[in-house]
């Protein structure tokens, strides 16, 4: 068996020249990856803002319902008193 200076590609394994091509492809895909990450951040931010708006609206509606309940109690108390 003789040793060779250059590795011979075996079936089922990538060739040595595939590494620079993969690096080039990765470099070309970096803007796409970056934009995908930015879009995910944007969607997370929009979702958290949506949740915050729902909480604010729910609190506002709760205060409104409490005021209506208090008005109803006062009206009932006035009718009972007279």
């509606």: which residue's tokens?
A: 61
Per-residue pLDDT, 36:
94
What per-residue confidence (pLDDT) applies to 39? 97
Angle, CA 44 vertex, CA 58 and CA 38 arms, to 5° = 155
> 7-60, pLDDT tens digit by residue?
555 565 555 555 667 778 778 888 899 999 999 999 999 999 999 999 999 999
Q: Are 9 and 15 in contact (CB under 8 A)?
A: yes
Query: In the chain, which residue ranges form alpha helices assigned H by DSSP?
Result: 18-81
């Amino acid at each position: 068996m003789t040793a060779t200076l250059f590795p011979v590609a075996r079936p089922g394994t990538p060739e040595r020249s595939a590494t620079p091509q993969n690096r080039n492809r990765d470099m070309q895909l970096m803007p796409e990856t970056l934009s995908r990450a930015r879009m995910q951040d944007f969607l997370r931010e929009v979702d958290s803002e949506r949740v915050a708006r729902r909480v604010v609206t729910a609190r506002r509606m709760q205060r409104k319902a409490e005021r209506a309940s208090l008005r109803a109690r006062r009206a009932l108390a006035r009718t009972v008193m007279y």
